[in-house]
A and B are shown apart, each in its own frame.
Chain A
Amino acid sequence: MNSSIPPVLKLTRISRSFGKVKAVNNISLEIAKGEVIGLTGENGAGKSTLLKILAGIERPDEGTMEINGKVANFRSPNDAFRAGVGVVHQEQSLFTNLTIAENIDQQNTARPGLSRFGCQDWGRINREAAAVLKKIGVDLDPRTRVGDLSFVDRQMVEIARAVCVEADGQGTPLIILDEPTAVLEQAEVEVLEREIRKLREFASVIFVSHRLDEVLRICDRVLVMRHGVLTSDRSTRGVTRDELFRAMVDEAPTIEAHPRSGRPRDLKPAIEVRNLSRAGVFRDISFAAYSGRITALVGTNGSGRGALMRAIFGAVAHDAGTIVVEGRDVSHWSIREAVQAGLAYVPAERKTEGMIGGYSGTRNIALVHRGDAMIGPFLRPRRLEKTAQGWFDRLDVNPNDIAQPLDQFSGGNQQKVVLAKWLNSPDLKVLMLDHPLRGLDVGVSQTVNAEIRQACEHGTAVILIPDTIEEALELADEIFVMRDGQLSAHHDMSLASDLAIKEIVAEMV
């Protein structure tokens, strides 16, 4: 480190509270030029709040922030952008109906020169976008519509957009990647890792991730947060997974080996799909899920798994084929009919589809099944609260406040409530989960998996779209591999116990 160059980022005793909770508590740190910093911690540890402060979305209650030696007092994301902080948010925020160049330009509207007399200078916008893409080593035509890009390519555009901060020539830019790998498949993660290595040539990077292996592989230094406090700041050289894990959670890691249920198939499936097709999405899908067993659908993004699950739930239409539940043909049923028949569906898009953000935990859990909490048409708030409190305690939702709006909780705690909403069913026959662990830390993931297993033991048939193949191998009794909208392989895990990941990956791509 050269002492004459000011650090790219310097935080001095930054704090931010929400009510009684200190989300970020007295954090001080420095990031040097060209450093790649890993930031990790459990859900609700305060990572998101810290990032929001850096990105100009939240303002700290106390403390000072310096960027490239200058005191930064961001009032808006635009201020942060102008100071050289580029953020790639967890959820993609591109305009899919615009071109790559237009998307990159959106970030730049504050800059002069890209429009003349109020008209867009298209030649220059496209040229500059091409230059940025070249700089980060991405081979894409800036005139392509973002909607036509693959997921990982969109991620690259997000990075290109964040990198644009550097064009202003105000020292070293700071690029923040908020869980960029959470939604990527294995091969795509490698592309992203290459990309990060390229970024360090001209920028400093903060890489947020729950996956400790990735953090150790990609980063120079790793910061661990817990309960808003920085509990570890170490070079990735010489630090072990175990040490990081201990800094993240209170108790030592307990990696339990769960024996597979090993429950034999019933004669009759809980739900069966026969030759189900939807033009251009999935084709001729036939499979069955059995009570007390977990069936995993693995495949790449775009393999049609998600749409298939929604079709079974009655949320999207299918063109041909039948769905049979307990011997009854239920093709083309509505979501309400599906739920009345005992189906449940945890969507991948938690915030926009899984929950009502403005509703409290109590009201969210009461959305589907209300049990005995009714008198005639009227709800009984006390009973609903009692039920919700039971779930909050059982799933260790933090903060343990059933009245707080759900959008104020961290992602992991939101997912617990979403799960509780469905598990609250008196008779859950089929539980379908689309990426249930997306963006969750180790602790919450264990809670969620334990609940899935328990539902299974009580006789629910589980259909799971896992984030990773490891997840499928750990949980599933049966694995179906889906490729390009078709089922390409089937494994009964009780028979093929030493099934290698490589084998499944080969079937996916």
Chain B
Amino acid sequence: MTQNTTYSPDLVTEPRQSVDFLGRLRHMAGWHTLAPPLVFFAMLLVVGIFNSNYLGPLGISIATASAAPIMLVALGQSMVLNIGSIDLSNAAISLFGAILLALALPPMGVGALIGVLLLLTVIGAINGAILAYTHVPSFALTLGTLGILQTAALVTSGSETIYVTENRELVTSLYNTKMLSIPLTFWLGVIVAVAYWVLLRLTVIGQTMTAIGKNESGALLSALPTKRAKIVAFAISGFTGGLAGLVIVSQAGSASASGLGSALLLPGIAAALVGGTSISGGLTNPLNIIFGALTVAFVPIAIQAIGFSAQAQSLVYGVFIIVVVALTTTRTRGLVIK
């Protein structure tokens, strides 16, 4: 079977019929890897035209600071979306983590940080283990865990704001120290994104996670450790949620069940999707979630800069997310969208 024997030569090469613009964009090599950063920089450009102050060091510092917790939550979420599941509890894990951290930091210092991260990783792993062994759908399962964790957050905080009274600088320095006008909290997210990229691309467990999202029976019959991969994906979601909790405390110097970070779930999912993650599994790029989170965090700022009225903000935000996800989603999986 050689390629060079053909029976009839190509007599005509008429110009290819035009395909619609979006279709052509999607077929371009690497579009789905480039779309999330392109969308972000396009938005930056538009905002810059309206108000160049937002592109200065202060603007960058504000935008990246508000993107940091969203990014971390989104990174955890994307690891779970990648195996074809969803973790509705991961933002609640962050908030619970923030409260525990605020309570434990004064007496325990660095030990508090390690302990809290460990605990939250275990909570995530329990989610994963229940999913792997009982086959409760992740949506129902994590909706349950979400409720439990919200109660836990209320009880441990006594419904009050917990201020970090001692060892405060241990965490606040993370927010206050800046590199290139960008706070360390954001850089922490970037490091985590790189680590997860390596995990997905260069380890067996990462390959297994993506394989589960693409075709679980295929993964199972190739003897991949599917149960372990599910547990690890949820454990990572818990761990990353914990890091988001740390960022919340370092930013606010306190934590409460209704304060900063109490509404991270939906922005987290939005950032994962804007970053090109497929909600039906098997496709994610942690590096692009950096831009997904920046975009999601920047939209409210952009809306203000452009001068929409306060009432219209949610509306514009909603429309914008739909448009951006339409632009950044890969459609190579065909027309089946769950």
**Which residues of chain B are within 8 angstroms of A354 by Cβ–Cβ distance?**
218, 221
A227 at the interface (CB under 8 A from B): yes
Question: By the criterion CB–CB under 8 Å, are A370 and B10 in contact?
Answer: no
Give 1 or 0 for each of B1-20: 1 = CB within 8 Å of chain A CB. 11101111011101011000
A379 touches B207 (CB 8 A): yes
B10 touches A25 (CB 8 A): yes
A26-B11, A379-B203 known; A368-B222 Cβ under 8 A? yes
A353 touches B202 (CB 8 A): no
The CA-CA distance from A378 to B210 in the complex, in Å, is 16
**Please, which residues of chain A bring their CB within 8 A of the CB of B11?**
26
* Contact flags B192-226 to A (C-beta < 8 A → 1, else 0): 00000010001111010011001101111111110
Number of B interface residues in the complex (CB < 8 A): 36
Q: Chain A interface: which size bin?
A: 35 or more
Please report the C-alpha to C-alpha distance between residue A421 and residue B202 in the assembled complex, in whole angstroms: 18
The residue on B at minimum CB distance from A43 is B1
Contact B1 A443 (CB under 8 A): yes
CB of A250 within 8 A of CB of B12, answer no
CB pair B218 A356 closer than 8 Å: yes
Measured CB to CB, the closest approach of chain A to B127, in angstroms, equals: 23
B-side contacts of A347, CB under 8 Å: 221
* B214→A335 contact, CB < 8 A: no
Main secondary structure of the interface of B (DSSP, over half): loop
The yes or no answer to A352 lying at the interface (CB within 8 A) is yes
Is there an interface contact between A227 and B5, defined as CB atoms closer than 8 Å?
A: yes
Contact across chains for B204 and A370 when beta carbons are under 8 A apart: yes
Q: Does B282 contact A (CB under 8 A)?
A: yes
A357 at the interface (CB under 8 A from B): yes
User: Which single member of A25, A338, A352, A378 contacts B223 (CB below 8 Å)?
Assistant: A338
Q: A398 contacts which chain B residues (CB < 8 A)?
A: 1
Contact between chains at A315 and B221 (CB < 8 Å): yes
Q: Which of A291-299, A359-367, A456-464 is the interface stretch?
A: A359-367
Contact across chains for A357 and B7 when beta carbons are under 8 A apart: no
Kindly state whether residue A426 has any CB partner on chain B within 8 Å: no
The answer, yes or no, to whether A82 is at the interface (CB within 8 Å) is no
Determine whether A390 belongs to the interface, using a CB cutoff of 8 Å to chain B: no
Q: How far is the CA of A370 from the CA of B222 in the complex (A)?
A: 12
B218 A355 Cβ-Cβ under 8 A: yes
In the assembled complex, B178 has its CB within 8 A of some CB on chain A: no
Indicate whether B333 reaches chain A with its CB closer than 8 angstroms.
Answer: yes
Tell me the complex Cα distance, A405–B283, Å.
Answer: 13
Q: Is the CB of B1 within 8 A of A366?
A: no
Could you tell me the distance in whole angstroms from the C-beta of B231 to the nearest C-beta in chain A? 15
Are B202 and A335 in touch, CB under 8 angstroms?
Answer: no
Closest to B223 in A: A339
Binary per-residue interface labels of chain A (391-412) against chain B in the complex, 1 for a CB within 8 Å, 0 otherwise: 0000010100000010000000
A229 and B3 CA atoms in complex are apart in Å by 12
Which of chain B's residues have a CB closer than 8 A to the CB of A421?
222
User: For residues 312 through 365 of chain A, which have their beta carbon under 8 Å from a beta carbon of chain B?
Assistant: 313, 315, 335-336, 338-340, 345, 347, 352-359, 363
Residues of B within 8 A of A (CB): 1-3, 5-8, 10-12, 14, 16-17, 198, 202-205, 207, 210-211, 214-215, 217-225, 282-283, 332-333
Q: List 20 A-B contacts (CB under 8 A).
A: A25-B8, A42-B1, A227-B3, A229-B8, A231-B7, A315-B220, A335-B220, A336-B225, A340-B223, A352-B215, A354-B218, A355-B215, A355-B218, A358-B283, A359-B211, A367-B222, A368-B222, A378-B198, A379-B202, A443-B1
For the complex with contacts A250-B5, A355-B215, A355-B218, 20 further pairs of A-B residues with Cβ separation under 8 Å are A25-B10, A26-B10, A26-B11, A61-B17, A62-B12, A229-B6, A352-B218, A356-B215, A356-B218, A356-B219, A358-B333, A359-B211, A366-B207, A367-B207, A367-B219, A368-B223, A370-B204, A377-B203, A396-B1, A398-B1
